Amino acid sequence: MANNLLAFYVIIGVVAYVVLCFMAKKPAPPHRNLLITIYFCCLAGMVIAGLPVHWHIEFPWQEPIPAAFYAIFGFAACVFLIYFAKGLRLWLPKDYDYYEKKRKGRE
Amino acid sequence: MIEWLHPGLIFIFGTFLIPLFKGKWKQAYLLILPAAALIDVILMYKGVFGTIPYSTWYYPFLDYELVLGRVDKLSLCFALIFSLAAFCMVLYALHVKSSSEHMSEFFYVGGALGVVFAGDLFTLYIFWEIMAIASMLLIWFHGGRGSEVAHRAGFRYILWHLFGGIVLLAGIIMYVAGTGSTAFNAFSWGWGSEYLPSYLIFFGFILNAAVPPLHAWLPDAYPEATVTGAVFLSAFTTKSAVYVLVRGFTGVDILIGIGAIMTVYPIFYAVLENDIRRVLGYSLINQVGFMLCGIGIGTPLAICGTVSHAFCHIIYKGLLFMSAGSVLQMTGKIKCTSLGGLWKSMPFTTACCMIAAASISAFPGFSGFISKSMIIAEAAHFQLGIVWVLLLLASAGVFHHAGVKVPYFAFFAKDAGIKAKDPPLNMKLAMGIGAFLCIFLGVFPQYLYNILPYDPVALGFIPYTAAHVVSQAQLLMFASLAFYVLIITGVYPPEQKKLNLDTDWPFRIWGAKFMIFCKEPLMDFASWVDRGMKRISAYFASFGRNPLRAIRIALSTMMVKALRTFVLEFWWRVFKYYERDLEEAKKLPADKPIETVPLGTAVLLIIILFLLYLVITLMYGWLAP
């Protein structure tokens, strides 16, 4: 139970961080604020819903925080994904006529 | 009473009548064919043609036998989804006027159904190649501005597939020579040179399944196809490859690793890509990765997961390609950078795209959830830690690019001010059926589970447990949070109007180099050889016509050449004599120019002869008792 509570605080922390990120920006229109509130309530609801669930623990890394493992994993996975993709952007993108130019340049 | 009716041949033979119909009659005919195939498959389920499993339609071929109808629960499941998808997709493509485009679609579906029911390797190969060529035509039909690009992409596509086909054929021939049997069943697998035929066949199969690094044909060519062609392409080639892998290579553990890499590799590209249909192409590879992982695990539950995931995947991926196609058709644009804010003007398409996006992200209550979780659960059950983490990462990734990015950039984001409206009725109907099936299978999974080769519920799998639902919902919601946070904070990479290099880069660069080598030095050498040969043949021809004259010319020429180098006053007369003689000899008759036949004609004649030879051999094979 203590672990679950710990997880809960972690999630609250993440959410609070995001809200702070928002507040640094200029204020949004009111209906948008409502949508955002509902969205964050959903996020918190997901974690709270995880607390009473009987989890099947399959791997050791799930043990410390079973209730919020998937939440943290999902967040971290997407952040990793985007940073990695940003890294790839350094050398993967070329102009649309890249191959055309390569071909024409030799002819 | 017919013994059995092959649904693929309904498509293939029905194709030839398409050009005869016009207008409404043509549309009716186009719908009747897939409906007939669908009814045919349902009748098979009902056991009208015999108790499942059975195999039928044997034909002698050389010294072997072709088995066109091998019917069991696995092939029926794939045949059902193929004919169902074909019906929806033909409905989607009903407004297309070109008969030839419809014909290649029908050949393509017929080829895929032929692969599914093939009971021996030769039949498999024949339908495999029908499928490859018909699908290339679907890419080539892209007219207008993109035709040049589509043409090139189609050529690259067919080069990959012909290469894969040849490797497959080599594998099949070695296998048949080694074992003496043409039956298409599970292949033996292990490490060592004695398994070479299995490796070659495996290579042919995984090329069609778009396994990295052999996947580049898919994101290269599919987005260049026609609006309706891309919808067809999304369903059949890769899924028939999944079918043959289930049939031939269940439990081959290398597929677990291949599948796991395949799920992760394309998601980075999907994040970077700007063309929506290309994003969907990458996410197609990612989804097939889940299926290959299931095949590699190979337990009955994993196979159930693979087959049901293929089933759901064809529907939701078709629906995603349909909505992207609608956007392309109605606005003429498909790049993320030039779209946005379409939800107001295309509400129906938006809703369908959102449903498909929720299904592909495996949101609880949609079709992806009831199938994908089976594979992930099996990976966890066998303690495949790294694979499990990769699959979860890919689940979050697929939600991110196909579930959020595609709907967000096409229908929401900032308004690009495009005037558009929802597509015509037939396209809307097809999308409606797809969206209905996505939700229906998600809410009532037992209807899908009942037709699988095994019963997942009896194997102890229940999709809607609290742990499954909450874990998946947490994963997806917090993945969306990450997307949100990164967009707000400006970390998210903005869409670029760029092309991303993929594993076909070396082939495209070296291929161009090779072509230039063929065009310049190699052609120079060829024409040099050609000129030499022509001179020799011309000499022989003139010698044959008038030997005396030829000898006289040769002698005179030789003498003139020999003397010209050191013409002194003394030799002048002799030189003049030979020169005059040469002119006189040339004036003699019988020196018509030789008639040459172009090389192409000769090759054509040889091919016709070979064809006749083949036909006679085959006829003899059929006629012989």
State the first-to-last Cα distance of chain A, in angstroms, to the nearest integer.
71
Share the mean pLDDT of chain B.
88
CB B451 within 8 A of CB B45: yes
- Distances in Å between the Cα of B373 and the Cα atoms of B90, B352, B455, B469, B478 are 31, 23, 15, 10, 18
SS3 readout for B47-114: CCCCCCCEEEEEEEECCEEEEEEEECHHHHHHHHHHHHHHHHHHHHCCCCCCHHHHHHHHHHHHHHHH
Distance from CA of B573 to the nearest CA of A (A): 54
Q: Dump pLDDT digits (tens) for B129-171.
A: 999 999 998 888 876 555 788 888 888 999 999 999 999 999 9
Mean pLDDT of A72-82: 90
- Residue-wise pLDDT for B46-85, tens only, equals 888 888 888 888 888 777 888 888 999 999 999 999 999 9
Q: What are phi and psi of B60, to 5 degrees?
A: -70, 140
Is there a contact between B473 and A58 if contact means CB atoms under 8 Å apart? no
- Per-residue pLDDT averaged across B596-625, rounded? 82
Give pLDDT, residue A101.
81
Name the nearest CA neighbour of B112 among B208, B10, B239.
Answer: B239
Q: Give the separation between CA B325 and CA B348, rounded to whole angstroms.
A: 13
Of A78, A86, A93, the CB nearest to B483: A78
CB B335 within 8 A of CB B341: no
**Confidence band for A1, pLDDT divided at 50, 70 and 90:** very low
CA-wise closest residue to B235 among B97, B133, B329, B131:
B131
Res. A2: pLDDT tops 60: no
Residue B416 has pLDDT above 50, yes or no: yes
Chain A nearest C-alpha distance from B183 (Å) = 40
CA distance B102 to B108: 10
Q: How is residue B344 written in tokens? A: 């107001």
Min Cα distance B142 → chain A (Å) is 19
Q: What is the pLDDT of residue B171?
A: 95
**Predicted pLDDT of residue B199:** 95
Q: Do B477 and A98 touch (CB under 8 A)?
A: no
Mind giving me the DSSP string for B333-366?
A: --BGGG---TTTT-HHHHHHHHHHHHHHTT-TTS
The pair of structure tokens assigned to B519 is 């065009």
What are B234-277's pLDDT values in tens digits? 999 999 999 999 999 998 989 999 999 999 999 999 988 889 99
Query: Inter-chain contact B491–A102, Cβ cutoff 8 Å?
Result: no
Residue B335 φ/ψ, nearest 5 degrees = -85, 140
Domains of chain B, residue spans: 250-478, 546-594, 598-625
Band the pLDDT of B590: cuts 50, 70, 90: low
**A46 to B473: CB separation less than 8 angstroms, yes or no:** yes
Check CB contact under 8 Å for B474 and A85: no
| Chain A residues whose beta carbon lies within 8 Å of the beta carbon of residue B509 | 99, 102
Q: Say which DSSP state B588 is in.
A: S
List of chain B residues whose C-beta atoms are within 8 Å of the C-beta of residue A74: 396, 474-479, 481-482
ipTM > 0.95, yes or no: no
Taking the C-alpha atoms of residue B7 and residue B378, their distance in angstroms, rounded to an integer, is: 34
Q: With residue A3 as reference, give the H or E element that holds it.
A: helix A2-24
Give the pLDDT band of residue A52 (cuts 50, 70, 90): confident
Closest Cβ opposite residue B512 in set A77, A79, A102: A102
Residue A6 has pLDDT above 80, yes or no: no
pLDDT band at B589 (very low <50, low <70, confident <90, very high): low
Cα distance between residue B418 and residue B422, in whole Å: 13
